[in-house]
Structure 1
């Protein structure tokens, strides 16, 4: 893991963005065949993550943003560990680094987007609901 920023607060603190959404221009999302709030895959040369999308037309076409600080595993009542939000460092290829400092380039990572199956989207939705239902005491 290369980005040291991690949110160590309970998911209930995240009222604005509980899942760590991918911000994307509406035309890019439409071209993919997805709509606002859909779960989509973000694929780099080393890893694939599934994230919730959110239209943000302040994003330039062809540019995306994923938040730092997510990816913490939280224990469920049955002992399973549920991951809340994208672990964005997993998209970073460790060999692509600054030649002097040796720091991997993690701010600009080449990725491609892909649709996910209905079954995979449902699994991520279910996990999100399990985390956030528990986090608000329901």
Structure 2
């Protein structure tokens, strides 16, 4: 689970993390090097983290070392819907509405090669008197407080004229304004967002155009047609309550890569168990085993830092 991400709209030169020298791919660093980037006296070490909807204190390899790293940060800010193992030691916790109280995008990829994308509407109102903010609003306010947003007046005016006019204005601004190019998602949220039924869906507008440009045949097979295929795909995502699905590639049979003689996996310990939850007496109770108490952050491939969690040596003993 990568924890550091940069914009999909900005071109990326080959970069490496400052301490571990891990390759940064598409703006992502390998999660298994996060602790290394913190627990050091290197002058460029990571000193602060913003963790959103993630629980690295539990879900990443070598949980004890990850907890040590999080506690060593100068500042830890967590955006989440629950007081997770990572949120508890945080300096600031910014609570967000649950998935039932806000617009949410969901990917269903368990029916390969058919992959479903669904933009879900809220089904509940936030609790009365609640000051919870959806994540895009939190990010926008942080950028505004930091003075990171340029003047968006022209883009707001273009958005009011329609998405065709906005497209030209946005692309021109992206090419000429470095400050805007640094925060395109927030700019879309604050300009195009208010014209949409779901302001947070504004970032999907650019992605829909990218998908239509790269995979036009797949989009057409899904029943999406039009002279402007990207705009048609975005409109279909907004208006279709059952979601949009299409197939881009035919995946190979992953089971063929299993090296056992019978092609089966003999032992598996699922991730997601071992979370602490307070009982009636307030004492935290674990349900199941937290597997990352046993894994090592060193067990990763040398190219992208992908964890080798499918190849962890283990000894099984009868109890």
Query: Of the two, which has the highest radius of gyration?
Result: 2
TM-score (normalised: structure 2): 0.17
Considering fraction of residues, name the structure with more helix: 2
TM-score (normalised: structure 1): 0.37
Higher relative CO (Cα under 8 Å, sequence separation at least 6) belongs to: 1
